[in-house]
Amino acid sequence: MKVVYVNDVVYGYATEDPSANGGAERYGWLLMRALANAGWSVTVGVYVLREKEVQIIDGVRFIGIRRRAHFLLDWYWLLDSERPDLCFWQNADHLWGPMVEIARWLGVQTAWSTMHDLDVQPRKALMRRPNWWFLHQWGLRRSNIIFLQHSGQRDFLPAAWHSKTFVLPGIVSLPGTVIPHSQRNGTVAWVAVIRPPKRPDILLGIARRLPMIRFIVCGAPSPGFWWAGKEKDLERIMTQLQSLPNVDYRGHVAPAQVLKVIGESNLLLSTSDGEGFPSVFLEAWAAGTPVVSLQIDPDYKIRNGGLGMVTGTVEGSSDAVITLMASDELRYDMGIRARQHVEEIHSPASAVRAFEDAVKSVHTDQKLPVV
């Protein structure tokens, strides 16, 4: 079976470009590679190659697309020339509506994947043209498959769509070795693109409360529409990140180095007030690093699995950091459970199985080919 996707940053991750960033794009690469390794024919269209130029990386076929007058023309060209069984897309986008109609006209089935809780709430979705939310909603309505990051996202969708929704687990590779907590460097890692939903202001508040704790911050600012009218807020946050004595601000960090930071740190701190299922959580758990999260706990995995602490308040997060930093044994126990969890639920094989099960589940009603 053949699947097609379009994403330049996926190519960046595939080629180990140190400038590549974005949890959705990283997941897109891991999923496409896993599908290819499982025997799927996988093609990813990219603009960074010349038109029709092909590179194959870990079984994934990248093909160059020429920019035409509009992306929808590029999309049509790719689907028409590749004739896949299924096309795949991530994140909320007003173009998803017309993209689905083009695919349907060409006889291509459609699978869309959420990467944030707001992606399944079209009126609130974080996308380039928020006023055109109805086109994204139309795309979801007409999609053959909707992939969710956790079961709670299903509640935001109409009941009539629930039969075509499937939880697709994130993917993470387990490092061969894990640094014992007694030998960690005594730091707390914070990893995210710096923009309002990640709440870097809360990170700063916690860092001020805990001057005895060293924080390592990996992530560059993302101005654009995220900070429209808030440029001074961004400037103030960046100044403080670079001036607080207990904050080691490193800006954009290459993906391999991010994993190193997480694996050497005692804890990962999340201050986000909105996510889906953060890939950085999986990376932390794979490294045996517990997560202290202010709000985010998809399907209550942290609370129920003992993979860290969910606090609800700045004060609670500060207290949790102090408690966990003081006990190597407690962090070790959480880290063991975290490693076991991702090994069982978030392996490439688990994601491929969930992907294929979704395709088979809709096969009867929508005549999708069976893998």
Predicted pLDDT at 227: 55
158 Cβ partners below 8 Å, 6+ apart? none
Q: In this predicted model, what pLDDT tens digit does every residue of 208-224 receive, in sequence order?
A: 999 999 999 999 887 65
CB-CB contact of 106 with 75 (8 Å):
no
Q: What distance in Å separates the CA atoms of residue 352 and residue 360, rounded to the nearest whole number?
A: 12
Residue 335, phi-psi category: left (phi > 0), alpha (psi -120 to 50), beta (remainder): alpha
Residue 206: CB atoms within 10 Å:
22
Name the nearest CA neighbour of 122 among 142, 140, 147: 140
Domains of the chain: 2-171+348-366 (3.40.50.2000), 181-345 (3.40.50.2000)
Question: Which residues, given as ranges, of the chain have pLDDT below 50?
Answer: 367-371
Sign (positive or negative) of CA dihedral 288, 290, 296, 301: positive
Predicted pLDDT at 369: 43
Residue 58, phi-psi category: left (phi > 0), alpha (psi -120 to 50), beta (remainder): left
Rg (CA), the chain: 21
Q: What distance in Å separates the CA atoms of residue 209 and residue 193, rounded to the nearest whole number?
A: 23
CB-CB contact of 185 with 264 (8 Å):
yes
Q: What distance in Å separates the CA atoms of residue 104 and residue 43, rounded to the nearest whole number?
A: 18
Q: In this predicted model, what pLDDT tens digit does every residue of 2-41 receive, in sequence order?
A: 999 999 999 999 999 988 878 889 899 999 999 999 999 9
Q: How far is CA 360 from the centre of its chain?
A: 25
This prediction's pTM: 0.86
Predicted pLDDT at 196: 83
Predicted pLDDT at 341: 94
CB-CB contact of 77 with 52 (8 Å):
no
To the nearest 10°, report the CA torsion of 298, 304, 308, 309: 80
Predicted pLDDT at 371: 37
Residue type, 104: R
Predicted pLDDT at 363: 64
Predicted pLDDT at 370: 37
Q: What distance in Å separates the CA atoms of residue 306 and residue 145, rounded to the nearest whole number?
A: 32
